[in-house]
Amino acid sequence: MQDPSFWDDQEKAQSLISETNLLKEKRDSFDKLKSDYENEITAVELLREESDNDLQKEVEADLQQLQTEFHDYELDLLLSGKYDSHNALIEIHPGAGGTEAMDWGQMLLRMYQRYADIRNFKFEINNYEPGEEAGLKSVSAKITGKNAYGLMKSENGVHRLVRISPFDSAKRRHTSFASVEVIPEIDDSIKVDINPKDLRIDVYRSSGAGGQHINKTSSAVRITHLPTGIVTTSQAQRSQLQNRETAMNELRAKLFHLEEEKKRKHKQELKGDQKEIGWGSQIRSYVFHPYNLVKDLRTSYETSDTNGVMNGKLQPFVYAYLQWLLSQENPE
């Protein structure tokens, strides 16, 4: 940074500064943990020399807190992917199955909203298409917070639900599917070239997320990238200009993700590595009948606490996925 030419490329300079700040933050966290650990060792040694009930209770509470901090730091180290610190863009699309599948999509949306609340993330719905009877046809949202993409990337794939359908008068067991796509939001430091001639931009009346706030003006925006067929939509903002900006930002992220995927697949082909399960494959199973079980098919992590999972208790699945991902990148 002391080099006079450092600021010649402003975007690259800002990217390097952000990366440096993240590394500094991790170093500072480690230094604090090390100091706290040494203080607790000293306190334990004092207890060995002389019994003190008040000090013992204090040390026990501090050790419990230290264990939590160590776990959080380990999680932070696992979140070392190139875009893990970015915000996340998420889309949910129910599979075939009508109302039952659409309701499953709505259940997943609620689950992620609860998880965002637990993590103190901001969850903003950009576009919401309700189902005719219940549930949703599709939804796109932005999740803002520290390491939002790094934590949410574990959800990328197809989610399967088995339950007695509340929409079936015969009370039969149904299996439903919904695909979840998670990509990182990209900032201005990442260049994505988009030819305006490759875009078709449509405007229409917005109903707002979930159908409320009927807008009598054409403020909703749909952008179609003609060469790839990628479509992004935004209707949550009050003005057409804001919705257009939101849809364009999402399009930039999707096109960037598409190019990154092409590069990744090319590297795999060069390595002869065909082990990875492709995008669109089933990643997690949620069984509500005849027993309760949520199981991740990649990590084999499972729990019978289906209510807890559907209320946003996803962190054990996220943690298991990040550890599994590390083992895939560094096989023994």
Per-residue pLDDT at 292 exceeds 90: yes
Residue that is written with structure tokens 């950009």 in the block: 126
How many angstroms separate the CA atoms of 181 and 281, rounded? Answer: 11
Average pLDDT, the chain: 86
At 20, give phi and psi (nearest 5°): -65, -40
How many CA atoms within 13 Å lie on the side-chain side of 161? 24
- Across the range 47-62, mean pLDDT stands at 84
Q: Which pLDDT tens digit goes with each residue over 60-81?
A: 888 888 888 887 788 888 998 8
Instruction: Say what the pLDDT of residue 28 is.
Output: 84
How many angstroms separate the CA atoms of 289 and 286, rounded? Answer: 9
Q: Which pLDDT tens digit goes with each residue over 110-141?
A: 999 999 999 999 999 999 999 989 999 999 99
**For the whole model, what pTM was predicted?**
0.76
Residue from 100, 97, 98, 94 nearest 158 by CA: 94
Q: Which pLDDT tens digit goes with each residue over 199-246?
A: 999 998 876 444 444 455 678 999 999 999 999 999 988 889 999 999
Antiparallel, parallel or unpaired: β 136-144 and 199-204: unpaired
How many angstroms separate the CA atoms of 7 and 120, rounded? Answer: 35
Q: Residue 97: which residues within 8 A CB-CB, separation 6 or more?
A: 104, 174, 176, 177
Which of 95-109, 200-214, 251-265 holds the top average pLDDT?
Answer: 95-109
Instruction: Say what the pLDDT of residue 266 is.
Output: 64
How many angstroms separate the CA atoms of 73 and 253, rounded? Answer: 28
Query: What CATH number was assigned to the domain covering residues 196-271?
Result: 3.30.160.20
* Angle CA 241–245–247, to nearest 5: 115
Q: Among 48-62, 77-91, 282-296, which stretch is predicted with the lowest mean pLDDT? A: 48-62
Residue that is written with structure tokens 């990217």 in the block: 15
- Per-residue CA distances from 100 to 97, 110, 129, 161, 163 (Å): 6, 15, 15, 10, 10
The class of domain 88-187+278-329 in CATH terms is alpha beta
* Angle CA 185–106–257, to nearest 5: 20
At 182, give phi and psi (nearest 5°): -125, 125
Bridge partner list, 65: none
Q: How far apart are the first and last CA of the chain?
A: 38
Q: How many CB atoms lie within 10 A of CB 166?
A: 12
Residue from 74, 156, 112 nearest 323 by CA: 74
How many angstroms separate the CA atoms of 142 and 153, rounded? Answer: 13
Instruction: Say what the pLDDT of residue 264 is.
Output: 76
Per-residue pLDDT at 169 exceeds 60: yes
Per-residue pLDDT at 107 exceeds 60: yes
